[in-house]
Amino acid sequence: MPHKPAVDLRRLEALFQELFRKSEGEQYGLTAVDFFRILAEVGAKYLPASAGETEARALYESLRAEELALARGCAAGNERAWEVFLTRFRAKLYDAARAITRDDASGRELADSLYASLYGTEMREGVRVSKLTFYMGRGSLEGWLRTVLAQEYVNQYRKRRREVSLDEHLEQGEQFAEPATAGGNPGTLPADPATGADPRLEAAADEALASLDAEERFILASYYLDGRTLAQIARTLGVHESTISRKLEKLAQELRKKTLAALERRGMSRRQAEEALEADVRDLSVDVRGRLAQEMSARPFQARRSRE
């Protein structure tokens, strides 16, 4: 929710003037006042209530003023802005869409749908709203277009997944959420036959994960859950591939060690803790399949209803 930042924006007037000059907003039909209003909107959205002048300055100085003015000029229907936008971004937009979908026809379809929203097919209170109104100039306009395309693609994919057949869901074994498990006796293993997971395991894993920082968890999730390559993760974080490789190796060992220690603190012997971790990997898949069969025979229609 946008709020009014504590910093007095009037103290930044000289900076705003400079940004307006750099933005060349006049050629896109923007006045200085229009542009200042946009800057105030950016501040309200991204500056925390406690932000001081230094932080506000840093934010405004990092903005892509020229592209911000261009986007807002387009959103306002300025012809010159559209001409420039089409010249600079039209081909890139279609290229990005094809790269995302990895298919010509789907790429074109995706880009067309975004184009429509950029032009402003959506009406709010009788006014045409262009998606470009939401561009705030934090990153490049080209990058923003790619991100919006990617969001649209992921949304479409999710929508399609909701319509996917039950068989496909079953193959993936995803529709059965793990039931909550009760605490087990110290020293005993699987409390829940469905997952084979001892609740102490979850608590220990959570504890180990909580000791990592956000970037480390991001790296782990990208590699182990999303199947990204080392190179992809490295590009996202702007570091070398070998750095990611070393980090992953270290993190995996560290997590294992910390999880074992946490299990021991929860009453398991070292051997039991090690067995719990090892057994978990093997047993889970078997149990999921078993649970799958049980669920299918017991509640054949319930699953379908939940899908609808």
Partner 1 sequence: MAELPKIVRQRLRAGGGEVHPDADLLTAFAEKALGERERAQVLEHLAACAACREVVALALPQEEGEQARAAPQGMRGWVLRWQTAAALATVAVAAIALLTIPDAYFRARAPVQVAKAPPGQSAAAREENSAAANQPAHSEADAARKQAEASTTVTRNKKEAVVQGAGEGGAVSAVLADAERGRRDESKDKLGRVLPAPPAKEGQVSTFTAEGAKQVPPPAPPATYDLKTAQAAPAAPTYQAKAQSAGMEKKQAVGGLVAGAAQQQSESGAGKGTATAAPVAADQAQVAGPAQAGPAQAPARAANETVQVMAETVAVAPIWRTTAAGGLERSHDAGRNWHAVPVSAGAVWNAVSSVGEHVWAGGHRQRTAVLYHSGDGGAHWTRLEFTGPAGAAPAADVVALNFTDAQHGVMTVVAAEDPRLRQIWTTADGGHTWTAPPVH
Site residues (CB under 8 A) for partner 1, limited to 212-241:
214-215, 217-218, 220-226, 228, 232, 235-236, 238
Min separation Cβ 184 and partner 1, Å: 14
Query: Residues 40, 46, 50, 51: what is their CA dihedral angle, to the nearest 10 degrees?
Result: -70
> Is residue 281 near partner 1 by the rule CB under 8 A?
yes
Q: How far apart are CA 263 and CA 270, in angstroms?
A: 8
Q: Which is nearer to partner 1, 128 or 304 (CB)?
A: 128
Min separation Cβ 297 and partner 1, Å: 26
> Is residue 57 near partner 1 by the rule CB under 8 A?
no
Q: How far apart are CA 85 and CA 78, in angstroms?
A: 11
> Is residue 105 near partner 1 by the rule CB under 8 A?
no
Q: How far apart are CA 140 and CA 63, in angstroms?
A: 9
Which residue in the set 7, 12, 132, 148 belongs to the binding site for partner 1 (CB under 8 A)? Answer: 148
Q: How far apart are CA 80 and CA 28, in angstroms?
A: 6
> Is residue 293 near partner 1 by the rule CB under 8 A?
no
Which residue in the set 6, 86, 286, 293 belongs to the binding site for partner 1 (CB under 8 A)? Answer: 86
For the chain, what percentages of helix, strand and coil (3-state, to nearest 5) are there? 70, 0, 25
> Is residue 13 near partner 1 by the rule CB under 8 A?
no
Min separation Cβ 46 and partner 1, Å: 8
> Is residue 172 near partner 1 by the rule CB under 8 A?
no
Min separation Cβ 61 and partner 1, Å: 11
Q: Strand runs (DSSP E) across the chain, as ranges?
A: 122-124, 127-129
